[in-house]
Amino acid sequence: MTRTTAGMIMVLMFLTNASLLKAEEPLQVSPFPDRISIGTFYNGTRVSISGTLSAESDVIVRMTGESAPLRMKKKGKVFGLLWMNRDTVTFESVPKAFLLYTPQHFEDSFKTLQKDAPVRQLGLTALEEKITVSPDMGGGEALVKELLKLKEKEGIYAVSDTVHYTPLAEGRKQFEADITLPPKLSPGAYKVEAFMVQNGTIVASYDHSLTVALESFPKILSMLAFDHGAIYGILATLIAIVAGLITGVLFKGGKGAH
Amino acid sequence: MTLPWHLYLPIAGNSVNILLVFGMGGIVGLLSGIFGVGGGFLMTPLLIMMGIPPTVAAASDSNQIVGASTAGTIAHFRMGNVDIKMGLLLLVGGVVGGTGGVQLIKVLNRLGSADFLISVTYVLMLGFIGIYMFQESLQALRSRHKEPATASSSRPSAYARIVQALPGQMMFDKSGVRLSVLMPLVLGGFVGVLSAIMGVGGGFIMVPVMVYLLRMPMHVVVGTSLFQILFTCVNVTIMQAYSNHTVDFVLALILLLGSTIGAQFGVRISKKLKADQLKILLASLVLVVMVKMLVDLLLTPSILLAYIGGH
């Protein structure tokens, strides 16, 4: 056997092994975008995630933002009558977003699992336990529940059972889910993950970085407003004056609202 | 829905329906044209109800008023209805008051009380104006067949005596009044503070102030008020943009277009309708907005947490 033939056999063996490995990969996820732009007409968007996994398993898809402390005001009564913002509280480890997608009826099997089962650590209940409140004035758990309620109302935190399956040959199935990005999503770094789950255990996982960034007009406007406040203010008034003059001329200097 | 009717507002950090904002500007402008009053005091609460953070709603409304009062000021100036001396003094007071108001909002933002202050100021002002207008138009309807009310007595009131005793008396030829320089300065400052807090031009406060406290004739009041409001709002807009980054000029521009067009139709409609009955309707509308805001302050909020600084 010549050295060339031996080399070719080696390459062939490597390629065969590589293709076998790929076929056996328990969770395969189709290419997912790296970047989402918030442009002029952005009103939230949907990004589809899909892939294949073994037929006996389930998949959970999760999108989370960076965790950071969040300072907020606790509402309380003034003079026992009017509700207003009172004490400042700081929540630790609050992700910028938390969107969880499960298959239908997954919640039921979730409940039968032990509290410390790894799969349970993926959900909102586990996040609720992770977030701490300072200063500790009592009632921290209730406050965290209020925080999650607020985030859910804004669409920034959500749990939905909208992962769909399509059966495939050879003991595999296809999954698909639409990740709904809300209009209130702030720019920054996010992580999209998929977990293949079997009997309460995470068998395989996938993670992908996603950047959400302002683009075009919102980017220019935001840069002007936050980095050059005075120029932005002057421009805003000048544009308003010109717009007022034009509409005034068009309508022959009618009364403006004041 | 795939039509691009939504516009993303990076300052408010949310998207809005362009038609809804334009329509809202149009309705407020229409009411403003029909009733001859400013629409700012309705615009900010409506924006808050739409999900715009209160501090952004108030600041962007100031920006909108800059445009809306430009056309009005020029028209009145051409007709000779602007008392520039009085206007400038009110303006100096307004600039100082407006700057103070912006700083106050900045401090309160840090304390998390700015939104509460805006709400309470609104409830009080809307309540006061709503009730006043309601009573006034009710009286006007009742006394339609009666003799017109006689002029006030010639004996100077306690207020008039105090005003006359103040230092720095000056003649204001255009308005035909003699007053202390301090009067327009202090009153302008007071309206400037409210302007910054509420995001309104202050016209609905300034007009009664000029009529009842500065004793100016009505035709000069409207022109001078607009002149003063224009500059006060220019100052408030620049200050809010610089200090609090809360001005969304795209939002302001859409509102402005809507309100200017609405105002033109309003003026035409007003000529065909009975003023006093419409005034009662407006007063009722003002009171409904006030009650809604008051109920929000009184009822237990659905979520017992709020963001600091209106975001």
Give the rounded distance of the alpha carbon of B295 from its chain centre. Answer: 22
Using DSSP's 3-state secondary structure scheme, residue A84 falls into strand
DSSP designation for B308: G
Are the beta carbons of A201 and A121 closer than 8 angstroms? no
pLDDT in tens, A127-158: 998 999 988 877 888 999 999 999 998 889 99
Handedness of CA B258, B261, B265, B271 (dihedral sign): positive
Q: Does the structure show a pLDDT above 50 at A17? A: no
Using DSSP's 3-state secondary structure scheme, residue B230 falls into helix
Percent of chain A with pLDDT over 70: 86
- Asked if B29's CB is within 8 angstroms of A245's CB, the reply is no
Mean pLDDT across chain A? 85
Q: Report if residue B95 sits inside a domain.
A: yes
Measured between alpha carbons, how far is residue B70 from residues B54, B269, B282 in Å? 25, 23, 25
Residue the block writes with tokens 């992700």: A95
State which amino acid sits at residue A34.
D
Q: Does the structure show a pLDDT above 70 at B96? A: yes
Both structure tokens of B45? 């609460």
- Neighbouring residues of B161: CB distance < 8 A, sequence distance ≥ 6: none
Are the beta carbons of B235 and B98 closer than 8 angstroms? yes
In this complex, the residue of A219, A225, A257 whose CB is nearest that of residue B11 is: A225
Distance (Å, whole) CA B93 – CA B91? 5
Distance (Å, whole) CA B28 – CA B113? 28
pLDDT in tens, B14-33: 889 999 999 999 988 887 77
Of A5-14, A76-85, A104-113, B56-65, the poorest mean pLDDT is in A5-14
* DSSP run (H or E) holding B231: helix B218-243
Burial bucket for residue B78 (CB in 10 Å: 0-12, 13-18, 19+): exposed
The pLDDT value given to residue A229 = 93
Q: Report if residue B151 sits inside a domain.
A: no
Using DSSP's 3-state secondary structure scheme, residue A146 falls into helix
Q: Does the structure show a pLDDT above 50 at A16? A: no
The pLDDT value given to residue B144 = 64
Give me the residues paired with residue A20 across strands. none
The pLDDT value given to residue A59 = 94
State which amino acid sits at residue A221.
L
The pLDDT value given to residue B3 = 55
Scored b (16 or more CB within 10 A) or e, B122-155 reads bbebbbebbeebbeebeeeeeeeeeeeeeeeeee
- Find the mean pLDDT for residues B182-200: 83
The pLDDT value given to residue A3 = 55
Top mean pLDDT of A15-19, A190-194, B206-210, B221-225 is at: A190-194
For residue B274, give how far its alpha carbon lies from the nearest alpha carbon of chain A (Å): 19
pTM (two decimals): 0.74
Give me the residues paired with residue B169 across strands. B180
Q: Report if residue B168 sits inside a domain.
A: yes
- Residue of A237, A238, A245 to mutate, interface with B, max B Cβ within 10 Å: A237
**Contact list, B297 vs chain A (CB under 8 Å):** 82-84
State which amino acid sits at residue B82.
V
pLDDT in tens, A106-128: 777 766 777 777 788 888 888 99
Nearest partner of A51 among A162, A166, A199, judged by Cα: A166
Both structure tokens of B217? 């004739």
The pLDDT value given to residue A135 = 87
* DSSP run (H or E) holding B99: helix B84-111
Distance (Å, whole) CA B94 – CA B87? 10
Closest residue in A to B39 (Cα) is A257
Are the beta carbons of B284 and B134 closer than 8 angstroms? yes
| Structural domains of chain A ordered from first start | 23-213 (2.60.40.2550), 219-250 (no CATH)
Domain extent, residue B23, equals 12-140+159-310
**Contact list, A146 vs chain B (CB under 8 Å):** 303-305
Are the beta carbons of A183 and A42 closer than 8 angstroms? yes
Both structure tokens of B130? 């709503």
- Residue of B2, B5, B6, B8 to mutate, interface with A, max A Cβ within 10 Å: B8
Mean pLDDT across chain B? 80
- Neighbouring residues of A82: CB distance < 8 A, sequence distance ≥ 6: B120, B297, B298
- Neighbouring residues of B142: CB distance < 8 A, sequence distance ≥ 6: none
Closest residue in B to A152 (Cα) is B303
Phi and psi at A50, nearest 5°, equal -145, 170
Q: Report if residue B128 sits inside a domain.
A: yes
Measured between alpha carbons, how far is residue A113 from residues A116, A213, A248 in Å? 8, 38, 68
Give the rounded distance of the alpha carbon of A70 from its chain centre. Answer: 17
The pLDDT value given to residue B146 = 56
Phi and psi at B270, nearest 5°, equal -60, -30
The pLDDT value given to residue B67 = 85
Q: Report if residue B149 sits inside a domain.
A: no
In this complex, the residue of B36, B40, B116 whose CB is nearest that of residue A84 is: B116
Q: Report if residue B286 sits inside a domain.
A: yes
pLDDT in tens, A31-41: 889 999 999 99
pLDDT in tens, A151-182: 998 889 999 999 999 999 888 999 999 999 99
The pLDDT value given to residue B125 = 81
Measured between alpha carbons, how far is residue B169 from residues B41, B180, B301 in Å? 33, 4, 51
**Contact list, A241 vs chain B (CB under 8 Å):** 66-67, 70, 234
Query: What DSSP string describes B262-288?
Result: HHHHHHHHHTTS-HHHHHHHHHHHHHH
**Contact list, B267 vs chain A (CB under 8 Å):** 254-255
Domain count of the fold of chain B:
1
Name the more confident of A25 and B168.
B168
The pLDDT value given to residue B98 = 83
Distance (Å, whole) CA B189 – CA B262? 31
The pLDDT value given to residue B35 = 67
The pLDDT value given to residue B156 = 63
Measured between alpha carbons, how far is residue A190 from residues A5, A40, A76, A85, A149 in Å? 49, 21, 34, 31, 21
Q: Report if residue B81 sits inside a domain.
A: yes
pLDDT in tens, B254-292: 999 898 888 778 777 777 777 677 778 778 877 887 888
Banded model confidence at residue B167, pLDDT cuts 50, 70, 90 = confident
**Contact list, A150 vs chain B (CB under 8 Å):** 303, 305
Banded model confidence at residue A105, pLDDT cuts 50, 70, 90 = confident
Both structure tokens of B116? 């509460």
Give the rounded distance of the alpha carbon of A246 from its chain centre. Answer: 43
State which amino acid sits at residue B259.
S
Distance (Å, whole) CA B70 – CA B198? 20
Banded model confidence at residue A8, pLDDT cuts 50, 70, 90 = low
Dmax (CA) for chain B in angstroms is 70
Using DSSP's 3-state secondary structure scheme, residue A170 falls into coil
What part of B 177-206 touches A (C-beta under 8 Å)? 201, 203
pLDDT in tens, B142-165: 876 554 444 444 556 777 788 888
**Contact list, A73 vs chain B (CB under 8 Å):** 112, 305-308
For residue A86, give how far its alpha carbon lies from the nearest alpha carbon of chain B (Å): 8
- Find the mean pLDDT for residues B48-77: 82
Beta strands in chain A (DSSP E): 27-29, 35-38, 45-54, 58-65, 67-78, 82-95, 98-103, 132-134, 157-167, 172-181, 188-198, 201-214
Q: Report if residue B22 sits inside a domain.
A: yes
Give me the residues paired with residue B178 across strands. B171
